[in-house]
Amino acid sequence: MEVVVTRDELHKQRHALAVKHHHKEMERPLIGLVPTMGALHRGHRALIERMCAECDVSVVSIFVNPKQFGQGEDLDVYPRTLDSDLSICRAAGAHIVFAPADEEVYPPGYSTTVSVDGMTARWCGQSRPGHFNGVTTVVAKLLGACRPDRVYFGEKDFQQLQVVKRMVRDLDIGIDIVACPTVREEDGLAMSSRNQYLSPSERRIAPRLYAALKRMAACYSGGVQDVESLIVEAKQVLYPSGDDTIKVEYLAIVEPEALTPRERAQHGDRALIAAKLGTTRLIDNIALTGGEVG
């Protein structure tokens, strides 16, 4: 595994590996990318392992992107664990880790922003103004630097996934965005680098988010389509015996592509939640399929 910190080094290593993995029977080798902000966990490892299984050359980027953090958010304290991150990448089979400095990604005079209008105004975009502009800008930069054929994202941040898909489609970038299932702890909590911020008592409460989403999905499977009724069911799970430790930012059912809110749930919709436990913001989602809820 090679660790590179500049775009020139990335291009050189990517080209060398592409030549090494080129076979006469194939037009060209497949290049994969998993973009991350580091602080890697089993969820990231699952993405990397899938990429390595499906692509000839696998690249992981590790970059804490300052442009997607708002004023007062956790940029300064966001966990930076490069040594352990590299160990996870190596164990998962990655070929290249691209770990640039801020000035490599945003050199002096940088003045361009990539934005996706409409679908970024609601949900996480409403409480984190400018966040998705930061996400789409850095993803566009990483796509230009790596030139992958496939990029792998987890479904935990469902809005981010759909925003990136829209950007790639609208700009005719011509790559595949591969959505991978959310990886969870044994008690159902979606894995996140921010989970380490939770106190022991908050960590015990945090699985209620997924439990509430599962209640919504189960009620939908049982024939309930009215969204307000489904939200009432979820809140019974979130707030047992009046416990209001979880501060819900939003709880909604949305059409899965444009992320517009529903009044009556339909097959394939997504139930989304964002909430704070203390100072830690958590997000999660579940598909409404009408079938068995796992």
The alpha-helical segments, DSSP class H, found in 130-221 are 131-146, 158-170, 200-205, 208-221
CA 133 to CA 152: how far, in whole Å? 19
Edge-to-edge strand order for the sheet containing 280-287? 246-254, 270-277, 280-287
Q: For residue 21, give every residue at least 6 positions away whose Cβ sits within 8 Å of its Cβ, in sequence order, or none.
A: 29, 56, 57
- Catalytic: 44? yes
Q: Of the residues 41, 44, 95, 131, which is catalytic? A: 44
- Nearest 5°: the CA angle 157, 158, 164 is 95
The DSSP 8-state label assigned to residue 106 in this structure reads S
Closest CA to 164 of 257, 289, 285: 257
CA 89 to CA 261: how far, in whole Å? 38
CA 270 to CA 71: how far, in whole Å? 29
Per the document, the length of the chain is 294
Quick one: which H or E segment has residue 8?
A: helix 7-20
- Helix, strand, coil content of the chain in percent (nearest 5): 40, 20, 40
Instruction: For 39-94, give the DSSP string.
Output: ---HHHHHHHHHHHHH-SEEEEEE---GGGPPTTSSTTTS---HHHHHHHHHHHT-
Q: For residue 244, give every residue at least 6 positions away whose Cβ sits within 8 Å of its Cβ, in sequence order, or none.
A: none
Query: What is the set of active-site residues?
Result: 44
